[in-house]
Structure 1
Amino acid sequence: MTDLDDADRAILDHLRRDGRATVSELAVTTGLSASACSRRLRRLEDTRVIRGYTAIIDPKAEGRGLTAFVAVRLARHQREHIQRFQAGAREVPEITECHHVTGTFDYLLRVEVSDLPAFERFHADQLAALHNVAQFVTYISMTDFTDS
Structure 2
Amino acid sequence: MQPLDSLDRRLIAELRIDARAPVSHLAERLGISRATVEKRMARMIATGAILGFTVRARDDVRGGVRAVMLIEVAGRSTSAVIHSLKGMPELRTLHTTNGGWDLVAEIETETLTDFDRVLREVRSIDGILNSETSLLLSSV
Backbone CA RMSD of aligned residues? 2.4
Deviation at 1:60, TM superposition (A): 5.5
Q: Distance in 1 between matches of 2:115 and 2:62?
A: 15
Equivalent residue of 2:139, what SS?
coil
Once the two structures are TM-superposed, the CA of residue 61 in structure 1 deviates from its matched residue by 4.5
CA contact (8 A) 2:59 2:139 kept: no
Larger radius of gyration: 1
Aligned to 1:72: 71
Query: In the alignment, is the contact (CA less than 8 A) between 1:59 and 1:112 conserved in 2?
Result: no
- The separation in 1 between residues aligned to 2:85 and 2:137, in whole angstroms, is 24
Contact 2:68 2:105 in 1 (8 A): yes
The normalised TM-score by structure 1 is 0.76
1:138 aligned residue: 133
Which sections of structure 1, spanning at least 5 residues, go unmatched? none
Determine if the alignment matches structure 1 residue 114 to structure 2 residue 105: no
Deviation at 1:136, TM superposition (A): 1.4
Q: Distance in 2 between matches of 1:108 and 1:86?
A: 11
Say if 1:76 and 1:52 are closer, same or farther in 2 by CA, change over 3 A: same
Shift of 1:133: 0.9
Looking at structure 1, the residues matched to 110 and 80 of structure 2 have their Cα atoms a distance apart, in angstroms, of: 27
Q: How many residues align?
A: 139
Aligned residues with identical type, % of pairs: 23
- CA shift, 1:17, in A, is 0.6
1:94 positional shift: 1.2
Counting only pairs closer than 5 Å after superposition, residues 1-148 of structure 1 correspond to structure 2 as 1-2=2-3, 4-6=5-7, 8-58=8-58, 61=61, 63-64=63-64, 66-77=65-76, 81-124=77-120, 126-145=121-140
1:81-128 C-alpha deviation (Å, 9 max, x unpaired): 22221111111111111111111111111111233332222222x213
Give the whole-Å Cα distance in 2 for the aligned partners of 1:137 and 1:9: 32
Please give the alpha-carbon distance, in whole angstroms, between the structure 1 residues aligned to 2:32 and 2:139: 36
TM-score, length of structure 2 as denominator length? 0.80
Q: Is the 8 A contact 2:73 2:102 kept in 1?
A: yes
> Structure 2 CA distance, aligned partners of 1:60 and 1:88?
30
| Amino acid aligned to 1:22 | P
Amino acid at match of 1:130: I
